[in-house]
Chain A
Amino acid sequence: MPDDVTSRSSFSDLFDAGTIGSEIIPPDEVSATRTAARLLTEDIGFSRQRARILNQEYDELHHRSHFAEWRAMTADRGRASMTEMLSELAELGFAWRDIARLVGVSVAAVQKWRRGEKAAGDSRRKLASLLAACDLVAEHYEVREVASWFEMPLVGEAPVTPIDLYVEERADLVFDYASGHADPERILSDFDPQWRERYRTDFEVFRASDDQLSIRPKAQ
């Protein structure tokens, strides 16, 4: 959405003036405090679709917000049943405990849903949102193996994964990371400015002679 949109008159075919009557006078323009932040509020008579008709340059100036797309895809995905959605996530290879975390419920709740118990409306939407986010990541950014991508750390030295970003309501960073354009370390710093200190460690995991994973101090 452009930051500043003024529309004058209701007779232009660029705007949806509603059912045309003769000489309908539009209401006065209402004063608005402008922000640099991008607002997504809709105004009657000027929808995003019409913005495209209005101006081809529009899309060049403002890439379509992933969040607008995420929202639309969530609505789409939400038409399926809980069990269908859970099945799809299982097909992708997600762990049930990660699905529970991503949706913000206990593992037991997910197990109940799998057995056919009803879920609250909010949970349905969150599940649909998760699937939609997977769609976005897979389709737009051609991330293959979406479930695997979600559970792998962005950077070797820190255990932070896209799951952690998503759970902390930083889906913007998830989409950023998926785009492949952003530097993973910058994304991590955005998420947690202290990450380097927080995950600095004197220990490492290695495979011992008995073939088991073990812990030892790092070589100096």
Chain B
Amino acid sequence: MVHNLEAPCDSDSIDWSRLYRARGDEVVSHRPYFTGDVFERVEVQNPDGSTKRKNVIIVQHPCAMRTNGVDLVPKLLVAELRNHRVLSPEEWTGYTKNMPLPDLIPSVASGRRSQAAFFDELYLVAPERLASRIACLSQLGVNLLLQRWVSHNSRVVIPTSTYNKATSGVYEESDLIEEWCEELLPAGILPEKATVECMTWLREDVGGVTRQRMLEDEQHRSEIRRQMRSAIRSLADIAGDLG
């Protein structure tokens, strides 16, 4: 059967905020970089060697972003963003070269409020050049981005629910790392260290399977979250005693 490209909402209840986890100053700086993250004014290199500054979005697959679970790969694939009018939900079945990002910058009323990623304007960027992150997509946003990106490249449309199954484990990891870092910052533990700690904890073998693997199954996620919150409390107590 043929699937259509999906939209984040129906036309009788338009709510573009469903695409985003965080925008503007809502973005938490120590959240690990992830597919769908939007950066502004990134220096990118044209084929002729010249450079420009563009707004870009990471289109690298979530499972292909890191070498060892923590360190980012040396080059990340990004797509350029440009101002774009807001498409209606019905129009999302077309515009196959784009990922629409309506209300990307909700604080402005002007043209750059809504943008779109252009899948035929691609660049490879070293992670160090990605500095100013202005948006993170929600799980739904990431699923839609993957659907459109893969469809653009292969003409195959896969339902977002399938992408959800394949990527929600790694999305959950990002949430957990973000929480771990946030909770331990007041105890003086820096995000770089906290991230490594969290990944180590997630990769611990618990009865033959790692916690990271357990996150891929929604049946076990809340258990892992409870364990993590308990572990964080212990660490915070220890740090408090030492500090």
Contacts and interface: CB of A to CB of B under 8 A. Distances in A.
**Chains A and B directly touch (beta carbon < 8 Å):** yes
B32 interface: no
Interface string B133-173: 00000110000000000000000001101111111010010
B52 interface: no
Contacts of A159: 161, 164-165
B229 A147 contact: no
A95 B225 contact: yes
Interface string B221-232: 111011001000
A212 B66 CA distance: 13
Contacts of B28: 111
A198 B187 CA distance: 48
B121 interface: no
Nearest to B172: A95
Interface size class of A (residues with CB under 8 A): 20 to 34
A92 B225 CA distance: 9
A163 to B, nearest CB: 11
Contact of A212 (B63, B165, B221): B63
Contacts of B220: 148
Interface residues of B, number: 34
Interface string A179-220: 000000000000000000001111111000000111100000
Contact of A107 (B26, B169, B221): B26
A127 B138 CA distance: 21
Nearest to A100: B21
Given A95-B175, A96-B175, A151-B222, A90 B229 contact: yes
Main secondary structure of the interface of B (DSSP, over half): helix
B3 A201 contact: yes
A91 B222 CA distance: 9
Contact of A213 (B159, B216, B223): B216
B107 interface: no
A154 to B, nearest CB: 12
Nearest to B27: A108
B179 interface: yes
A48 to B, nearest CB: 35
Contacts of B17: 106
A81 B189 CA distance: 28
Contacts of A71: none
A64 interface: no
A92 B139 CA distance: 21
B11 interface: no
Contacts of B138: 97
A145 B222 contact: yes
Interface string B32-44: 0000000000000
A89 to B, nearest CB: 11
B175 A147 contact: no
Interface of A: 90-97, 106-108, 111, 145, 147-148, 151-153, 158-159, 199-205, 212-215
